[in-house]
């Protein structure tokens, strides 16, 4: 297990290993990890020293700022009195901590401020004076009415990075609409791309992809803006919308038929894109053969070398044009043996393949265990929880879990003292 993972401690427990079909391997890995876990001295994350004031709620904003928090930034989550972020209540909360909230808001501190009150607005402005970044995802026009728009805060911190995340942008017919992830899936074409083959029923992704794509885009944009500020000394306003982030992500292959302007091909993406889910004698798997060598290997592994003489499948273009025929015959053959048997044959021919795992087997798979991706920790109010570490690994400035997701207003008095205000939290 790579030693740059051990700051996410404690790692997944040995009890998990004992429940796994790969128990001997897992126990060996955990034993090795336990030997290494105390050998790494503490080190600041790559964004240590930067302060992020986070006004966002739900997913698109909090998932952006949790990436920054994992990388060492001091993220201060500003929440309203009473309920705070709605995600605290979406699910089965344990004292205001749901599973989604725990993962999307770790490595943050929570302060409760009622920005309708003069006293709390004053505290917020004092907080902004200490910040490098302010992030908000209110609907367009709300921050202006609240007096916390970029123009209001720029005089307090001239080099501030101010980030506005919206559903559809600042203007246009949809700018003022309420938005959740499925609305963006519908408008961006994602539901059409995911739909049944041909002109069938559109389908939604079951993961909230537009929210998360927006979060990744925002986190990258924030770090780019901070880098630009290091070089120029100037802050700026970064604007992004969920619809822009989603269409930009989907475009390379999802809108390939519309990229060459004078050569639009009105073949729906869901006709060309196959799901590559294959039934086997004992379960499900996937395999993909794109290059000529992979196609040849697949034909040999499946025991059908005569497929290589089929003119329809001789070239990558032909295999796309006749995808349905190629995949249908592949599917019929794969039903005849177990997943493990096919994986062994396909691996021997270097054909990309994998079992389709149930969720409770994903984090027990030997590769996931070896990567040290999943760790367990004790939350002070939610109990024992399991989460993935930050995906990016830094060998000099490692990421870490410094703070579990906060309870509502947990750090209010602490943060107020830091900005020179001595009073009890509301």
User: Are 110 and 101 within 8 A, CB to CB?
Assistant: no
Other CB atoms closer than 10 Å to residue 305's CB: what's the count? 10
Q: How far is CA 266 from the centre of its chain?
A: 31
Q: Which residue has the tokens 């949809």?
A: 174
Nearest to 400 by CA among 55, 11, 72: 72
- Give me the DSSP letters along 262-313: GG-----HHHH-----EE-SSSEEEE---SHHHHHHHHHHTT-GGGGG-GGG
User: Are 8 and 372 within 8 A, CB to CB?
Assistant: yes
Q: Which one of the listed residues 54, 85, 120, 211 is annotated catalytic?
A: 211
Please name the residue ranges forming H helices in 37-162: 60-70, 99-104, 118-129, 142-146, 150-153
User: Which residues, other chains included, contact 367 with Cβ-Cβ below 8 Å and sequence gap of 6+?
Assistant: none
User: Which residues, other chains included, contact 109 with Cβ-Cβ below 8 Å and sequence gap of 6+?
Assistant: 74, 75, 76, 77, 403, 406, 410, 411, 414, 415
User: Are 237 and 162 within 8 A, CB to CB?
Assistant: yes
Q: Is 398 exposed, middle or buried (0-12, 13-18, 19+ CB in 10 A)?
A: buried
How far apart CA 94 and CA 269 sit, in angstroms, is 43
Please indicate whether residue 118 is annotated as part of the active site.
no
Residues involved in catalysis: 211
């Amino acid at each position: 297990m790579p030693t740059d993972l051990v700051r996410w401690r404690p790692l997944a427990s040995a009890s998990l290993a004992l429940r796994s079909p790969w128990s001997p391997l897992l126990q060996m890995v955990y034993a090795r990890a336990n030997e290494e876990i105390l050998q790494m001295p503490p080190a600041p994350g790559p964004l240590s020293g930067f302060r992020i004031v986070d006004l966002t709620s739900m997913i698109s904003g909090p998932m952006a700022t949790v990436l920054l928090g994992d990388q060492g930034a001091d993220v201060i989550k500003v929440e309203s009195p009473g309920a705070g972020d709605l995600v605290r209540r979406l699910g089965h909360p344990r004292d205001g901590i749901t599973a989604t909230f725990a993962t999307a808001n770790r490595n943050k501190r929570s302060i409760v401020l009622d920005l309708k009150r003069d006293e709390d607005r004053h505290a917020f402005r004092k907080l902004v004076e200490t910040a490098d970044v302010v992030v908000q995802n209110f609907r367009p026009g709300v921050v202006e009415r609240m007096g916390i728009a970029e123009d209001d805060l720029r005089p307090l911190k001239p080099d501030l990075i101010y980030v506005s995340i919206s559903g559809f942008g600042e203007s246009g017919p949809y700018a003022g609409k309420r938005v959740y992830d499925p609305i963006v899936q519908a408008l961006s074409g994602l539901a059409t791309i995911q739909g049944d083959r041909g002109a069938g029923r559109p389908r939604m992704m079951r993961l909230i992809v537009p929210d998360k794509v927006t979060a990744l885009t925002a986190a990258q944009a924030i770090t780019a803006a901070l880098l630009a500020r290091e070089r120029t000394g100037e802050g700026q306003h970064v604007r992004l919308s969920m619809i822009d982030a989603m269409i930009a992500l989907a475009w390379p292959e999802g809108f390939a038929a519309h990229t060459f302007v004078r050569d639009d091909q009105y073949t729906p993406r869901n006709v060309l894109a196959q799901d590559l889910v294959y039934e086997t004698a004992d379960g499900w798997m996937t395999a993909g053969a794109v290059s000529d060598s992979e196609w040849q290997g697949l034909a040999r592994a499946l025991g059908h070398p005569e497929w290589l003489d089929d003119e329809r499948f001789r070239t990558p273009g032909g295999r796309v044009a006749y995808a349905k025929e190629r995949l249908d015959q592949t599917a019929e053959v794969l039903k005849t043996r177990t997943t493990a048997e096919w994986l062994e044959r396909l691996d021997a021919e270097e054909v990309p393949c994998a079992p389709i795992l149930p969720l409770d087997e994903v984090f027990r798979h030997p590769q996931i265990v070896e990567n040290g991706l999943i760790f367990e920790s004790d939350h002070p109010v939610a109990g024992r929880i399991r989460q993935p570490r930050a995906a990016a690994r830094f060998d000099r400035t490692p990421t870490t879990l410094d703070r579990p997701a906060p309870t509502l207003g947990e750090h209010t008095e602490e943060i107020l003292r830091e900005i020179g205000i001595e009073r009890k939290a509301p």
